[in-house]
Amino acid sequence: MAAPMRACECLCKCTGGPYARIRYLLQFKRRSHSNPWKSGDYGATVETEIGNRPFKISSGKLARFADGTAVAQHGDTSVLVTAVSRDRSVQQNFVPLTVDYRQKAAAAGRIPTNYLRREIGPSDSEVLTSRLIDRSIRPLFPQGFYNETQIMCNLLAVDGMNDPDIISINAASAALAVSHIPWNGPVGAVRVGLIDNEVVVNPTRRQMFQSTLNLVITGSEHDKVVMLEASANNVYLQDFQKAVKYGLKETQAIIRQIKKLQNQIGQEKKEVPPVSAPSEQITSIVKSLAELKLRDIFTDSSHDKISRDVAVRKVRTEVVRDVQESLLQNGASPQSTDQPEVDAQAIHQAFDALSKEIFRNLILDEHKRCDGRGLRDLRDISCQVDLYKPLHGSAIFQRGQTQVLCTVTFDSLDTAFKSDPMSVVAGGLKEKNFMLHYEFPPYATNETGRIGASKRRELGHGALAEKGLRPLIPSNFPFTIRLTSEVLESNGSSSMASVCGGSLALMDAGVPISDAAAGVAIGLVTRTDPEKSDILEYKLLTDLLGIEDYLGDMDFKLAGTKKGITALQADIKLSGIPAKIVMEAIQQAADAKYEILKIMNNTLAKPRSSRKENGPVTETLQVPPHKRPRFVGAGGYNLQKIRSQTGVTITNMDETTFQVFAPNKDAMEEAREIIDELLQDNVPEFEFGAICTGKIVEIKEYGVMVELHPRLQPVLIHNSQLDMRKVNHPSVLGLEVGQEIRAKYFGRDPANGRMRLSRKVLQTTSR
């Protein structure tokens, strides 16, 4: 056995690639003195306690051909995450990371409800969870590692109590930690709730219904924050900050266990190829040619987004041309492979590095922003409501060069969004009558491109803006609300502009929201120690510009009312920032939010007292149980007829209550006439015990349908009430359609209001 092992080991060393994983397993086999492929006795498991429940992470048993694999379990919810990376085939300067989170119906003991009865395409909740995992791990990939990397999350079991999204983040962290993929992790993630003003870590689904906060926090070593995402029901600032600190502390226990797992079975990390940098000669020439010009552009506050970009592109073109000419004069050949410094790519790289350095130094050293604002200043804001008469509600919100058009549409409760069963089990809402749809067309940034289904970015921004407004919507509102936010111009923070414009549009539509809401983005620019990556100096920027987001280190979005916080999302490009900076960013965002709300209140301070005349109307209709069959009709025929004739939707709320939704008052008046006619009492009322005569209109296997009056629904006389003898089918008695039949009336069924008739008792009486 030893000889074949040595041969295979030699093959692994020579070929590399997928055989490297086999070599790793063979080495582990010798250490454990057993055959891992047969016995399954290999790998390792670590465990800690989160939220008073055990949290386990194991690796080395499943999906062994993947570069890294881990199974995380919390309660009875288990997730398998695999990490695979391959060498890049083309030159690039970013990490092509793909995170694919999929909900498996079998994991919850369900069958998919689509027509194929199998998983097809990612749902919105799957896309949002994939983004959550991506934002938690992406900042920790080292600079220079640009290999294509794929993280796949496979739900093994879902217990309906412990949400798999948090488990997936930790499993992805463990899978990357034990793999040979270069990564500066691990990270740990927890969900934090606030129940009765008490912080709860990783609350169950039942506890989350009582929580006013849903905070997901991902942390790295040394109590640093990597990612934040939250929705809240107007949580006070100090309570939110307390929850962040508490959650960050809990992530450290998970990180310690993942490091323990990494020490036990982790593979040696691949070396990261050195980052290609332009030569000192090119860097020097580019700096001499472009430094002053770039500084003038970045300090000229008269520039807007487009003119600034045009000016920078013009300088870039001139610099590339001049540098090439300068090098050619010194004897370099543009076709020579021995003279890489003539390559335009290297010149572009040097120019980009210089642009970033100048832009950031102006903020750090001189406290100057490219549009002339101070570090805490807001851009100019203007608002307008009631834009077009046919709309139920509308608003336009302009902040600098970010412009968002928001419209509100009302519809019946039947049109509420209903999640698929698997999304509900995995932690989503079962039904919601408020939806915010965010659109970002290419022209918003002076670009062209394809339009169609919402991209991941649009889904993410729309979900964040919806979180910011959802707590304000009254739970008993009689309509389904669809709020659309179309970005017409974009120069940073369009999702937070959607919160501001959406709040105004809701008030313009007469939705009695509890308070107005606003949102703002905070940026971060740092100067770090190149060896330890510690932050030496930093500046926070209020109301982030697009270029400040691109060249900065953080996009920190916060939405809320004057009372508290409703939503938060932090995208951090560094491998983690101290909690101190996070607390300052929260406070600075809260201060800016108050200022924005003051400006918005000058346009519309509170919801309109009534909805617009052209808006929909709704009424509640009480129908006695005995009139319900007549009102609804066979198979709901009457309700469908009313909808087709008038456009009015009638929704059954309970046994006696219906909600009537009409698109306008005229439609309601037309429907009311039909409803009154259906419910009018000009039909005979029978006394208990009365003998009545009717006509058979239908013969069924279990009885006959008898029409007692043209305005009454046909009544069933069951086989058991047709004759003294046992009747298997009405035809044995010679009964036919159109034949008259006599029966005795025994009142109505108290449960469903149906009339009770008996022909059998008349036979008993006659005898």
pLDDT of residue 91: 65
Length of the chain as a residue count: 767
Answer yes or no: is 253 within a domain: yes
Contacts of 377 (CB under 8 A, 6+ apart): 542, 543
Residue 616 to residues 120, 406, 484, 611, 710, Cα–Cα distance (Å): 36, 19, 18, 8, 34
pLDDT of residue 36: 38
- How many domains, in total, are found in the chain? 6
Tokens encoding 53? 């429940």
Same domain, 307 and 327: yes
Same domain, 623 and 507: no
Backbone CA torsion sign across 577, 583, 584, 590: positive
Sheet holding 657-662, edge to edge: 617-622, 657-662, 649-652
Same domain, 122 and 1: no
Same domain, 33 and 49: no
Answer yes or no: is 684 within a domain: no
Residue 687 to residues 630, 704, 744, 748, Cα–Cα distance (Å): 19, 22, 10, 11
Nearest-angstrom CA–CA distance, 576 and 186: 11
Answer yes or no: is 101 within a domain: yes
Q: In the listed set 265, 291, 318, which residue is the last one of a domain according to the structure? A: 265
Same domain, 340 and 385: no
Burial label for 209, CB within 10 Å (0-12, 13-18, 19+), is: exposed
Divide the 767 residues of the chain into consecutive groups of 10 and give the mean pLDDT of each group: 41 44 46 38 82 90 92 93 83 83 80 75 87 95 90 90 92 95 94 94 90 95 94 94 95 95 92 84 91 94 92 94 80 49 80 94 94 94 93 95 95 78 64 90 89 85 95 90 94 94 96 95 92 88 94 96 95 93 96 96 92 85 82 81 88 85 88 84 74 89 87 84 88 87 85 81 68
Please give the helix or strand (H or E) that residue 456 lies within, else none: helix 456-469
Q: In the listed set 541, 572, 603, which residue is the last one of a domain according to the structure? A: 603
Answer yes or no: is 372 within a domain: no
Answer yes or no: is 662 within a domain: yes
HSE at residue 117, side-chain half, CA atoms within 13 A, is: 2
Same domain, 18 and 62: no
**Closest-CA residue to 572 (of 538, 536, 531, 529):** 538
Answer yes or no: is 371 within a domain: no
Residue in this structure with the two tokens 């959802």, named with its chain if needed: 470
Same domain, 582 and 668: no
Answer yes or no: is 609 within a domain: no
Tell whether pTM > 0.85: no
Same domain, 599 and 452: yes
What CATH number is given to the structural domain containing 411? 3.30.230.70
Structural domain that includes position 177: 43-265
What CATH number is given to the structural domain containing 284? 1.10.10.400
Answer yes or no: is 672 within a domain: yes
Same domain, 534 and 575: yes
Residue 413 is given by DSSP the state: G
Same domain, 130 and 9: no
Nearest-angstrom CA–CA distance, 18 and 316: 43
- Residue 564 near residue 237, CB atoms below 8 Å: yes
Please give the helix or strand (H or E) that residue 135 lies within, else none: helix 124-137
Same domain, 31 and 53: no
Same domain, 79 and 136: yes
Q: In the listed set 546, 581, 603, which residue is the last one of a domain according to the structure? A: 603
